[in-house]
Structure formats: C-alpha cells, structure tokens
Structure 1
C-alpha cells in the first residue's frame, strides 16, 4: 500500500498539479490510510476470535475423545470380568462333577 501511495505522490509531483490538488490528494491518501488501519484492527480482532473458537473446539474434541476412551476401557473391563466369572463358573462345575464322581 505504501508503494502505491508513494507512486501516486510522485505522479502528482511529476504532473505539476497545483498545491490545492495536492492537498486534496494528501487528504484522500490520509483517509485511505485511516480506513486501512481500522480494517486491520477489525481483522486482528476477528483473527483472535477465530483462534479462541478453534481452541475451544479443540478442547471439546479432546474431552470427547477422553470420555470415549474411558468408556471403552470400562466396557473392556466389564467384558473381562464377565468372561472371568463365566470361566470360574465353568471350572466350578467341573470341580463339582469331579467331587460327585468320588
């Protein structure tokens, strides 16, 4: 943007415009510069808001994954306990059959 403004300023100097036109041009360039500064502020705020939103989303996803992992561990533990009980029951029935044979 600076190159554009500088080129415009040099063009005005070379073309030989009077000082009144140069003042108008300088005012327009200053106004444009102020608008650009405001636009940059809005963009910076937008970037911060977006970054915060991404951070919140990432944290929510991490929590969801943690909950799913804990649930999977709980289910696996429950299934292992169920299998162990079934195995113990099977072993007990074999033991009872052996005792009955005596």
Structure 2
C-alpha cells in the first residue's frame, strides 16, 4: 500500500486564493488506475463527481473525506446510493485537523 501527497503553490486571485488541483489529481490517478483498488479523496468538491463516477464504474472503491459543510450534495448522494463508495465526515476531528486561526 502506498500513497503520494502532492502540494501545489496557491494561485492568488483578486477574489482570494484557489489551488486548482482537481485536473492534476485526476490525471495522476488515471496513470495508476489499473494498480489501484481504492481511491481516497480528501475533498467535498463536486468537480470530482465525474471522476468518482468513472472510477466507481471501473470497479474501484471510492472513499470521500470532507467536512460536512464542504461536502457537495452530489458527492454525498452518489456515495449513499452506490456500493463501494462512501463518505466520511471529518467534523469530529476538526480540532485536530484545522490550523489555529491567525490573530
């Protein structure tokens, strides 16, 4: 079992910050798709729905981790109705996962 953590500098925009890693992440998963049994996603972004749907159709287990307030209803609905797919709400671990707010 292995995993890779990929970081990317934030792209600064006038409206705030955005990272735009969704395409990079999906491309990386596809490179290894034949050797994967499970795809674990730490995001509730609905932009991943088509990728999750495809991975699931290929027989892969998909686990989505997200805080409840950031979990798109489309991802939650997909996870509820499809075998081999589930979501885990991170809210009980919030105090351990979140960085302290700056003063």
Range class of TM-score, shorter chain: under 0.3
Structure of greater relative contact order (alpha carbons < 8 Å, 6+ residues apart): 2
Which structure has the highest helix share of the two? 1
Which is strand-richer, 1 or 2?
A: 2
Q: Which has the larger radius of gyration?
A: 1
